[in-house]
Amino acid sequence: MVNAERLKSTFLDLVRIDSHSREEGEVARYIQNRLTALGLEATMDEAGAKIGGNCGNLFVRLQGPLAGKVEPILFCSHMDTVVPGKGVKPVEVDGVFRSSGDTILGADDKSGIAAILELVQVLKENDKSYGEIELLFTVAEEIGLVGARHFDTAQLKSRHAYFLDSEFVTSIGVGAPSAYRMTYRIHGLEAHAGMAPERGISAIRVAAQAINAMPLGRIDFETTANIGSIEGGAATNIIPKLVTLRGEARSHNPQKLEAQAEAMRRAFDQAVENSAVTIDGERVQARLEEERNLEYQAFRVAENSLTYRLAAEAGADLGLKMEPEISGGGSDANIFNAKGIESVVLGTGMMEPHTVKEFLRFEDMLNATRLIVNMVYRLR
């Protein structure tokens, strides 16, 4: 039932459309046009205006003959891509898609969009009965799951959701961590680096001492942490007065997450305390500002749940040995689970996403599409 050539054509169309976060408008129009041609109306919410983007989340509902008789389900993919994602020139060799090498491919997450659009085509072309299917295409997932946060889930009938936004087609993402995003600003004291360095406090040095003292990387099997960027300083002959650091902490265990965040803060506090100097008889030390935001909450979906079993059994029908996966990353599924919509993540075959080495085996995307089609028809 799945038309492989049409699926491939859709995917190639999508990856050639630029859609960095907050710039998804052209992809949204492509999706709307495809759905309109099939007699469906996709509504757009106000998320774009709220986040400074050029479009909002797209939502559409299909009413099959079995609507009201079987469980409605939701399929979702995000429309944005990471940088560098403009001017993608896809290349196919032996059934594997890559970019020309200077951009990402954009299979994250346009392979998911292509699979969902092909699902709709299949449902419209075949007379097999199906129930109520809801589709969602979100914006700004790559910059903090922003579109999903602004989507009003009260309009959903589905209590089971599937996010096509992962790598391996045989994996079902049943768990993901909570994550804090932190910004630290260290205020030092400016002075001439050659003439009076003892009258300054280097914000960069304080930051370095803090980073050296804090636990980072793989903390344990449930917890990770990272300082990902540092900005500061004006010139080599000026003791830097301000440094801004951005980092994160993730854990599947909320107590461990809090402990890790506090350990990072303590390292900064101690480095600030150790920065104290006496200038003109007055004790002076650096100052710390911290912003800590819970970006998303952990979730864990049981393997005996309908949400899991539907995907696992549909895969088994196709000869795919589906396995549960616990992820170290977040997705829109984190947001929806927190809002009470039981959600798992399905793979489409995207590999090495967020890099210019990203690639996709077409056979994997084809199997992912067959999987979600079979899931729909399995609901009886």
Q: How confident is the model at residue 138 (pLDDT cuts 50, 70, 90)?
A: very high
What is the pLDDT at residue 88?
A: 98
CA-based radius of gyration for the chain: 24
pTM of the model: 0.92
Residue with tokens 């954009």: 106
Mean pLDDT over each residue of the chain, to the nearest integer: 97
Sign of CA dihedral 379, 57, 86, 84: negative
324 and 274, same structural domain? no
Per residue in 182-213, pLDDT (tens digit) is 999 999 999 999 999 999 999 999 999 999 99
Known catalytic membership, residue 167: no
261 and 142, same structural domain? no
Token pair recorded at residue 144: 């903090």
Residue with tokens 């001017």: 87
333 and 277, same structural domain? no
Whether 96 shows a pLDDT value over 80: the answer reads: yes
237 and 350, same structural domain? no
Question: In the chain, what percentage of residues exceed pLDDT 70?
Answer: 100
Per residue in 211-243, pLDDT (tens digit) is 999 999 999 999 999 999 999 999 999 999 999
242 and 156, same structural domain? no
192 and 78, same structural domain? no
What is the pLDDT at residue 185?
A: 98
What is the pLDDT at residue 248?
A: 97
Give how far Cα 48 sits from Cα of 76, 147, 151, 324, Å. 17, 8, 11, 34
In this structure, how many other beta carbons lie within 10 angstroms of the beta carbon of residue 280?
6
Q: Beta partners for 244?
A: 185, 231
Please say which residue of 247, 262, 295 terminates a domain: 295
DSSP 8-state secondary structure symbol assigned to residue 84: S
Q: How confident is the model at residue 325 (pLDDT cuts 50, 70, 90)?
A: very high
**For position 284, which CATH number holds?**
3.30.70.360
Whether 341 shows a pLDDT value over 90: the answer reads: yes
151 and 37, same structural domain? yes
What is the pLDDT at residue 276?
A: 96
What is the pLDDT at residue 314?
A: 98
Active-site option among 45, 108, 109, 141: 141
How many Å apart are CA 114 and CA 109, to the nearest integer? 9
Active-site option among 80, 167, 332, 358: 80
126 and 30, same structural domain? yes
SS3 breakdown of the chain: % helix, strand, coil, rounded to 5? 35, 30, 35
Looking at the structure of the chain, the number of domains it has is: 2
Token pair recorded at residue 211: 């980073």
Closest among 6, 341, 329, 357 to 171, alpha carbons compared: 329
What is the pLDDT at residue 240?
A: 98
311 and 165, same structural domain? yes
Closest among 43, 72, 79, 80 to 60, alpha carbons compared: 43
What is the pLDDT at residue 105?
A: 98
Please say which residue of 262, 278, 295 terminates a domain: 295
What is the pLDDT at residue 128?
A: 81
The mean pLDDT value for 288-307 works out to 97
Structural domain harbouring 106: 4-176+298-378
Please say which residue of 295, 324, 344 terminates a domain: 295
Per residue in 365-376, pLDDT (tens digit) is 999 999 999 999
What is the pLDDT at residue 127?
A: 76
Token pair recorded at residue 18: 């630029």
The mean pLDDT value for 41-49 works out to 97
What is the pLDDT at residue 214?
A: 97
Known catalytic membership, residue 332: no
What is the pLDDT at residue 255?
A: 97
67 and 140, same structural domain? yes
What is the pLDDT at residue 173?
A: 98
38 and 145, same structural domain? yes
Whether 50 shows a pLDDT value over 80: the answer reads: yes
**For position 76, which CATH number holds?**
3.40.630.10
How many Å apart are CA 70 and CA 314, to the nearest integer? 16
145 and 78, same structural domain? yes
